[in-house]
Structure 1
Amino acid sequence: MIDDLKNRTKAFAVRIIGLHNSLREKNSANVIAHQVLKSGTSVGAHCAEASRAKSRADFLNKIVGATQELEETLYWLDLMVEARLVKATRPELLRKEADELMAILTTIAKKTKTGKRV
């Protein structure tokens, strides 16, 4: 399961990079594009780190970190739309994927906290 999650979060990061690259030409979007790039690509990094966790607490910490990065990514995506830096339809698939990843990571975190097998 963790390998599937790593692959999926990496694909999410690649799509975030594509969005970032499409915004680089707009001066007003540079800072926000950089923020969404950082948070969106950090999700996969946290999942990769979780796969090498040394303890259950370390694993949980990395998974929670990934959920926090997803929350931040969703914030920046919403801000891009509300500031009219992108069309509302542009980040729709990214938001959907972020929501699905959030559900998966939240389930993993809950199971880890209760000692259930992930």
Structure 2
Amino acid sequence: MNATSKLEFIEDFKKRTKRFVVNNVLFFKELPKSDEARILGRQLLRSSSSVGANYRAACRGRSQAEFFSKISIVVEEADETLFWMEVMIESGIVSEAKMRPLLDEAKEILAVVAKARKSASENIKRRVH
């Protein structure tokens, strides 16, 4: 990937993670008004919004180590987001069909940031040796 393509990917992925947060906010607004839905929905909002915010912070990292640290947080938060989605489905708060678009997007985002973290880790190891 050349430098221009990489910068375009980064900007597009920033927009994608922000859109993911907005879509989770809109999803939250449509949840049933039960205590369980609100509690789990807030957990979902917290973790999904952290994905977008921390990806942005990772892109501003001043070093490879700082990027690795921030992107690791994104991986953890994306995985936690998936967890809350699964709990909401399995507890019957929402149907899998209704959650499917967000669930698929969360899995795709997780795959991308996990790969970025692995690449960053390999780059750090190469520089150390």
Taking structure 1 as the reference length, what is the TM-score of the superposition? Answer: 0.92
Q: Residue in 2 aligned with 1:84? A: 92
Q: How does 1:51-70 map to 2 (within 5 A)?
A: 51-70=59-78
Any stretches of 5+ residues in structure 1 without a counterpart? none
Q: How does 1:1-118 map to 2 (within 5 A)?
A: 1-23=9-31, 25-115=33-123
**CA RMSD between the two structures:** 1.3
Query: Which of the two has higher C-alpha Rg?
Result: 2
- Aligned-partner Cα distance in 1 for 2:118–2:63: 16
- Aligned-partner Cα distance in 1 for 2:117–2:38: 33
| Structure ranking higher in helix proportion | 2
- Deviation (angstroms), 1:24: 5.8
- Aligned-partner Cα distance in 2 for 1:81–1:107: 27
Any stretches of 5+ residues in structure 2 without a counterpart? 1-8
3-state DSSP of counterpart to 2:48: helix
Percentage of pairs with the same residue: 33
3-state DSSP of counterpart to 2:79: helix
- Aligned-partner Cα distance in 1 for 2:21–2:42: 13
3-state DSSP of counterpart to 1:96: helix
Taking structure 2 as the reference length, what is the TM-score of the superposition? Answer: 0.85
Q: Where does structure 1 differ by over 4 angstroms across 4 or more consecutive aligned residues?
A: none
- Aligned-partner Cα distance in 2 for 1:40–1:34: 10
Paired residue type of 1:58: E
Q: Matched residue pairs, number?
A: 116
